[in-house]
Chain A
Amino acid sequence: MLKLKNVQTFYGNIQALKDVTIEISEGEIITLIGANGAGKTTTLMAVCGIVPPRSGEISFMGEPITGMEPDKIVSLGICQVPEGRRIFPYLSVAENLDMGAFLRNDRAEIKKDMEYVFDLFPILAERRHQAGGTLSGGEQQMLAISRALMARPRLLLLDEPSLGLAPLIVKQIFEILIKINAENNTTIFLVEQNANLALKVAARGYVMENGRITLTDLSENLLANEEVKKAYLGF
């Protein structure tokens, strides 16, 4: 479904991604793990077109999307939940969700989707008229995920959804991610520092180090891998 082939990305003169090749097929949950500054977020930004790659190819559903404008990429069905949630603090919860459906025009369907995300996260329904900035961290993360779902993505990119959240909330959010994947056949590309949890959810994983993919395998193999254990799982 999504293919990155030898992608190289630069911030000015600094190379952030070196020959990154990733492949995701439809309906999968894939995770990308790595230390701080490894280039995980940049990988997502490259897919979304916010930081376009200098060379290499990205294709989605067999069509090249390298160098496309971010809004065109979203309209193809790729939606990102950005790192640090980045909800709109002065817009209400309902308005935040509506912004997620910005590119859609089918009112009835949007309403249905809103009911759907309220079903997933009942707390958001309770707070629908509250300004986004007044929500707690966990609720904001739920809102960010819901907002992305409002675009009806075929591929959902998540950037560290566990960042700064209590373990219990993290668990709840991951359970819902699995549910979303199962119910809508939404492909999920999960970028995480919490490698242990991410690998338990995902079918396959990529390990990134200094802008390179150093390892890729099935999750259970990665969980068993001595080096991964030492470097990311803390055993």
Chain B
Amino acid sequence: MIKFNEIKRAFLVSIWFMFLTFPIMVIRVNPVERIVEWRWKNMILVGIGSFLLSFVWNYLMKRKELGVKKTEAGEETGTIPLAQRILGEKRIYIPGLVAIGVFTMVFPLIFSMYQTTIMTTALIYVMLGLGLNIVVGLAGLLDLGYVAFYAVGAYAYALLNYHFGLGFWMALPIGGVLGAIFGILLGFPVLRLRGDYLAIVTLGFGEIIRIILENWNEFSFGPSGIANIPRPSLFGIDLSVHSSIIYIYYIMIALCLFTVFVVNRLQDSRIGRAWIALREDEVACEAMGIDKAKTKLTAFSLGATWASMAGVMFAAKTTFVNPASFTIWESIMILCIVVLGGMGSIIGVIAGALVLILTPEYLRAFSEYRMLAFGTMLVVMMIFRPGGFIPNVRRVYKFEGVKSADKS
């Protein structure tokens, strides 16, 4: 069954991996005692590990190719992915939804404060992911500076509170509106750009915002940031740290539900379809009379609104903002959430955010290799599930009178 060729291949792979990981796995320099440790045992472990993994890899690749061939031959392989089947089946779907709902509601009561905080962070990223999903997933505009709008929201709350003493509930809508305005401001110069060029310009925009925040001391207090931002209040009652963390968690759940609701409605609306059409063919859109400028600007500004509201939430949660929280890495992370989760798919983006934000947290046990494992996961994901965890299956519209039209 296992051919000699495969063994040879796996052997070569393991040699290659031993060579690659040699500097980090084997050599350890101890600067205090000025000696070099040679950990040969690690090398053997890497060798055996990669030898075995390469078999698993081969097996998965073969299965993948087989699947591709089958679909090419037109065989019905149950192409609907598992997640979609679950969503389609009402008997599983509804109890599942109830279970998830109950779990999220009691989550902060069962688990520790630490867990609740992580979950809140993940929920902020769910919101960011859903917002970017409008821009990237639906309208197909690759935006690498999305974090700029996140920063706009966070600083909007921080500064409005510092100067005018505005509370969280006032700052949230104002932050959203500010985000929309910034979205339009960014949108105008990039209307004519597409693809790589758009990515570069938005990347620049994101950096501009960060650098302004870092250097304009009078305005944003520079790298030292703004501290003592109040947490959200509950009808004017000041909560203890513990209960306000739980409170923030529930606000975040509510905001996420609101986002899901709005994005879902947007997707099925005319403007949503115009976004999808714009992603597919700009010239055809123009010939159909779709206003390209307006459509792109609404995508940018609506996406930015959500980032900005998430920013307000972030400021309220951490009670401290500084420019270091809004680096390009954040933008990439959010983009990863959208692409890995499944572009254009709401449930995919939610899953993507939870996986991408929670895994590094729970991988803290493997602290040193955390990012390595994370990177490997991204690579493997993109090879085996290029459409994302839960790819978007577009809703089929049923028109009345289908039958009669078919007969005629």
Interface of A toward B, CB cutoff 8 Å: 48, 50, 69-71, 73-75, 79-82, 86-92, 94-95, 98-100, 102-103, 111, 114-115, 118-119, 122, 125-126, 128-129, 147-148, 151
A129 vs B402: C-alpha distance in the bound complex, in angstroms?
10
- Stretch in B72-80, B203-211, B221-229, B393-401 with 4+ CB within 8 Å of A: B393-401
Binds A, one of B145-153, B271-279, B370-378: B271-279
Tell me which residues across on chain A come within 8 A of B291, comparing CB atoms: 69, 71
B3 at the interface (CB under 8 A from A): no
Please give the distance in Å from A12's CB to the nearest CB on chain B.
14
Q: Let me know if A91 and B286 touch, CB within 8 A.
A: no
In the assembled complex, the Cα of A100 lies from the Cα of B290 at a distance in Å of 9
Collect the chain B residues with CB atoms within 8 Å of residue A75's CB: 289
List 4 tightest A-B contacts by C-beta distance, closest first. Answer: A74-B289, A86-B284, A71-B291, A80-B287
Q: Which residue of B lies closest to A73 (CB)?
A: B289
**Residues on the A chain within 8 Å of B92, using CB:** none
A126 to B287, Cβ gap below 8 A?
no
B277 touches A50 (CB 8 A): no
B289 and A151 contact, CB distance less than 8 A: yes
Is B241 an interface residue when CB atoms closer than 8 A count as contact?
Answer: no
A-B contact count (CB 8 A): 88
- Which residues in A have their C-beta under 8 angstroms from that of B405? 115, 118, 125, 128
Can you name 29 A-B residue pairings with CB atoms under 8 Å?
A48-B286, A48-B287, A50-B287, A70-B286, A70-B287, A70-B292, A73-B289, A74-B288, A74-B289, A79-B288, A80-B287, A81-B287, A88-B276, A88-B277, A88-B281, A89-B280, A90-B280, A91-B394, A92-B396, A99-B273, A99-B290, A102-B270, A111-B399, A114-B399, A115-B405, A119-B408, A125-B408, A128-B405, A129-B397
Q: Which residues of B contact A80 (CB under 8 A)?
A: 287
Given contacts A125-B405, A126-B406, contact A88 B286 (CB under 8 A): no
Q: Which residues of B contact A79 (CB under 8 A)?
A: 287-289
Pair B290/A71 contact, Cβ less than 8 Å: yes
B283 touches A90 (CB 8 A): no
Contacts of A99 in B (CB 8 A): 273-274, 277, 285, 288, 290
Contacts beyond the supplied A74-B288, A91-B276: 8 A-B pairs with Cβ under 8 Å: A48-B287, A50-B286, A70-B287, A87-B284, A88-B277, A90-B276, A119-B408, A148-B287
* Residue among B292, B396, B408 making CB contact with A129, cutoff 8 Å: B396
- For window 251-298 of B, CB contacts with A under 8 Å fall at 270, 273-274, 276-277, 280-281, 283-292
Closest to A114 in B: B399
Residue pair B397, A100 in contact (C-beta under 8 Å): no
A81 to B288, CA, bound (A): 9
Given contacts A91-B273, A99-B273, contact A147 B396 (CB under 8 A): no
Minimum CB–CB distance for A89 against chain B, Å: 6
Complex partner residue of B283 from A82, A114, A118, A125, CB under 8 angstroms: A82
> Is A70's CB under 8 angstroms from B280's CB?
no
A71–B280 CB distance below 8 A: no
Take A102-B290, A129-B396 as given contacts and tell me if A86 and B406 are in contact as well, using a CB distance cutoff of 8 Å: no
A90-B287 CB under 8 A given contacts A99-B274, A125-B406: no
CA distance A211 to B344 in the complex (A): 43
Cβ contacts under 8 Å, B289 to chain A: 70-71, 73-75, 79, 102-103, 151
The CA-CA distance from A148 to B286 in the complex, in Å, is: 12
Q: Which of B292-309 contact A (CB under 8 A)?
A: 292
Interchain CB contact under 8 A, B280 and A74? no
Cross-chain contact B281 with A86 (CB below 8 angstroms): yes
Also in contact, A90 and B288, with CB within 8 A (given A99-B277, A115-B405) = no
Which of B286, B287, B406 is packed against the most chain A CB atoms within 10 Å? B287
Q: Using Cβ atoms and an 8 Å threshold, which residues of chain B touch A70?
A: 286-287, 289, 292
Taking a contact as CB atoms under 8 Å apart, the answer to whether A90 and B284 are in contact is no
| Least CB distance, A3 to chain B, in whole angstroms | 21
Set of chain B residues within 8 Å of A115, measured between Cβ atoms: 405
Contacts of B280 in A (CB 8 A): 88-91
